[in-house]
A and B are shown apart, each in its own frame.
Chain A
Amino acid sequence: MNINTVTKNYDGITNEFCSYQVTYVNSNRVKSVPLDEANSDYQAIQEWIADGGVVIDNPPE
């Protein structure tokens, strides 16, 4: 699937960046992706970023 958007998730308890929320083109599928280098979705996000994708980042105030 082609990635549409990638947004950083922040843990509401620790306020730390905890995972990515990924949406896909022409799909209602959403993946919440852990920060684990062994996770293949995490690897796909890193490739998407390397290809010029921009991660949406709205850290808690």
Chain B
Amino acid sequence: MSELKVDKVSPRTGTYVSLNTVGSKNIIINGDMSIAQRGTSVNVGNNDNGYHTCDRWSFFESGSPTAVFTMSQSTDVPTGQGFATSLKMDCATAQGSLGASDLLRIEQRFEGQNLQYLKKGTSSAESLTMSFWVKSNKTGTYIAELNDSDNGRQISKSYTIDSASTWEKKTLTFEGDTTGTIDNDNALSLVARWWLAAGTNFTSGTLATSWQANDNADRAVGQVNLADNTANEWYVTGVQLEAGTTASDFEFLPYDMNLDRCYRYYQMVADGTSDVQVISNAVSYTTTTAYGVLSFIKEMRSAPSLDQTSGTGYYNYSNVGNSDTFDSFVIAQPNTRNARLNNGDTIAITVGQSGWFSARTTGGKIALDSEL
């Protein structure tokens, strides 16, 4: 047994590091775009609002835009910065003239319970600094916005893409908001938005560079129209949103830690890339229906939806006596940790036997979704 003797213990001097600056300073999840459980490329437009490629990054449009973008996980990254992937928005169908209510943007949404340390709505409210690498052939003014969903408040900052098709690092600081506290729950409280196109309903006012009550006209003043030419593309990576007025180096996380953060919102169960992928154990409860229990990899934000592809014979129930195929699943009794599943259309099986569910064809894809 070793022994440690000291004459005096003194308080440490210098700067203390708070918990929020260790390991989780980045409010953004998957800021390096390394996780893409859903897939790596998809065309978005025509109200394809939601999550498509890089985890936690959603596409949002409103009005009646006709533009279509290919949203993808790209390997085009800023040289020498340590990134391997970026999010790319590539204009596939152009829209030279935007309707007044048309908008296109990329978003990330946050739970209020993760933002309490920002002390929003108090005299001690923290500023937030957003930093990211961006590249586009279309130079000019772009808008990034924070929106407080709990209190209907907004703040926008502009950034300029100076050089065409060149990676540039941008840093924007949003001052703390002394109005409107954030709900301490698992619901949507704050949205970070990167505008790509905005009709006049969102550009006709004065840019809200300080926190204010929601006013569409002040959201995206000066925003270029990235949708006006099929040659247009926009890349982003290394996105960080942190408390304070300065941008620190991007917080790289190991792949497993990054994926683990994403699992709270989305978990792929069978990804449709091979012929047979087991989904869960199950039992033949009746001659037409089998039930299984699916335990989640990690506790989810809310009871999740079962997000699945549906097609003839995409899924299978197998047991000793026989097996049968079906087209989709139904979820029942879900909570944040597990759920019961059953075949959504009738199968012919023997009561009382145990078996298992699987995705049986390439394309049979099933996931758990509790995104904000």
Which of A9, A11, A28 sits near B310, CB closer than 8 Å?
A: A28
State whether the Cβ of B191 lies closer than 8 Å to any Cβ in chain A: no
State whether the Cβ of A59 lies closer than 8 Å to any Cβ in chain B: no
Quick one: given A13-B285, A18-B332, A21-B344, are A36 and B310 in contact (CB under 8 Å)? no
What is the CA–CA distance of A52 and B83 in the complex, to the nearest angstrom?
46
The interface-forming segment of B44-52, B89-97, B130-138, B248-256 is B44-52
Which of A1, A2, A23, A41 sits near B369, CB closer than 8 Å?
A: A41
What is the CA–CA distance of A19 and B306 in the complex, to the nearest angstrom?
10
| CB <8 Å contact, A38 and B301 | yes
Which of B187, B285, B333 sits near A18, CB closer than 8 Å?
A: B333
Residues of A within 8 A of B307 (CB): 29, 31
State whether the Cβ of B356 lies closer than 8 Å to any Cβ in chain A: no
Quick one: given A1-B48, A12-B342, A39-B370, are A34 and B303 in contact (CB under 8 Å)? yes
State whether the Cβ of B371 lies closer than 8 Å to any Cβ in chain A: yes
State whether the Cβ of B372 lies closer than 8 Å to any Cβ in chain A: yes
Q: How many residues of A contact B (CB 8 A)?
A: 23
| CB <8 Å contact, A36 and B369 | no
Quick one: given A12-B285, A21-B344, are A30 and B328 in contact (CB under 8 Å)? yes
What is the CA–CA distance of A42 and B304 in the complex, to the nearest angstrom?
10
| CB <8 Å contact, B310 and A30 | yes
| CB <8 Å contact, B310 and A38 | no
What is the CA–CA distance of A43 and B43 in the complex, to the nearest angstrom?
25
| CB <8 Å contact, B333 and A40 | no
Residues of B within 8 A of A12 (CB): 285-286, 289, 291, 342
Interface string of A25-53 (1 = CB under 8 A from B): 00011111110101111100000000000
Chain B residues 151-170 with CB under 8 Å of chain A are none
| CB <8 Å contact, A36 and B309 | no
Residues of A within 8 A of B285 (CB): 12-13
Interface string of B333-372 (1 = CB under 8 A from A): 1100001001010000000000000000000000001111
| CB <8 Å contact, B344 and A38 | no
How close is B184's CB to chain A, nearest CB, in angstroms? 14
What is the CA–CA distance of A19 and B304 in the complex, to the nearest angstrom?
11
Interface centre among B285, B302, B305, B311 (most CB of A within 10 A): B305
| CB <8 Å contact, B332 and A30 | no
| CB <8 Å contact, A39 and B305 | yes
| CB <8 Å contact, B303 and A2 | no
How close is B310's CB to chain A, nearest CB, in angstroms? 4
State whether the Cβ of B329 lies closer than 8 Å to any Cβ in chain A: yes
Residues of B within 8 A of A30 (CB): 308-310, 328, 344
What is the CA–CA distance of A38 and B301 in the complex, to the nearest angstrom?
9
Residues of B within 8 A of A42 (CB): 305
Quick one: given A29-B307, A38-B301, A39-B305, are A21 and B330 in contact (CB under 8 Å)? yes
Quick one: given A21-B344, A30-B309, A31-B306, are A11 and B332 in contact (CB under 8 Å)? yes
Which of A1, A19, A23, A38 sits near B331, CB closer than 8 Å?
A: A19
Residues of B within 8 A of A2 (CB): 46-47
Residue of A nearest to B311 (CB): A28
Which of A11, A28, A36 sits near B302, CB closer than 8 Å?
A: A36
| CB <8 Å contact, B305 and A33 | yes
Q: Give B contacts to A, CB under 8 Å.
A: 46-50, 186-188, 285-286, 289, 291, 301-311, 328-334, 339, 342, 344, 369-372
Residue pairs across A and B with Cβ atoms less than 8 A apart, 9 shown, are A11-B333, A13-B285, A28-B309, A30-B309, A30-B310, A31-B305, A31-B307, A32-B306, A32-B308
